[in-house]
Amino acid sequence: MNLIEMWGYCADEKHRLLVYENMEKGSLAKNLSSMELDWKKRFKIALGTAKGLAYLHEECLEWVLHCDVKPQNILLDANYEPKLSDFGLSRLLSRGHELHKSSFSMIRGTREMVTGRSPSMADNGGEVEHKTLVEWVKEKKHGASARSSYWVEEITNPATGTDYDRKKLEGLIGVALKCVEESKDARPTMNQVVEMLLEIENHH
């Protein structure tokens, strides 16, 4: 289910320890710039992360909002299968309350996997612009660059190479942008995000 497993704990006087399964590749944050993290693995990580969030949001007996999804909290096993960790800030919602289609947090890890840029800055011809990465990607997708067939190449991280399925990457970017729509009614649920990613994977 793409969630980190807790194997045990210790509560001995002043000592408090939690024991989790070992994730050989460490965090996504440590791997983002690695040449071993090709686009196939990056898509796999995006899909696995979405599955983990979908389970928390819609399949648990009580809904859980992670509230702190970021590359540092996405851990990778030896096969680069992702698992969500660090639920210290998570919030439980009873079944009687509405879940506001909270796929918003999905975008953070996805946008950094694609662009290799920080969430609040983007490089523009050697200059650093103080705008959100979401704004920057939307400008590239819908602005002047959209008239060019190279807008995807302009926003991808060059360090990861060019060996990727362009249509699949376009689809991944499209899903990520849907997750940050201002209106909650326009944002997909995490189960819908999983379905969209599976469709992209199966048709490209």
Determine the Cα–Cα distance for residues 105 and 100; give it in Å rounded to an integer.
12
Task: Report CA torsion sign: 159, 138, 98, 88.
Answer: positive
Determine the Cα–Cα distance for residues 146 and 148; give it in Å rounded to an integer.
5
Q: Which two tokens stand for residue 147?
A: 């008239």
Count Cα atoms within 13 angstroms, Cβ side, for 60.
19
Instruction: Single out the catalytic residue among 38, 68, 77, 165.
Output: 68
- The amino acid present at 182, given as its one-letter code, is E
Q: Are 170 and 104 in contact (CB under 8 A)?
A: no
Q: Which residues pair with 128 in a beta bridge?
A: 123
Q: Are 83 and 4 in contact (CB under 8 A)?
A: yes
Q: What are phi and psi for residue 7, nearest 5 degrees?
A: -95, -20
Does residue 68 carry a catalytic annotation?
yes
What is the set of active-site residues? 68
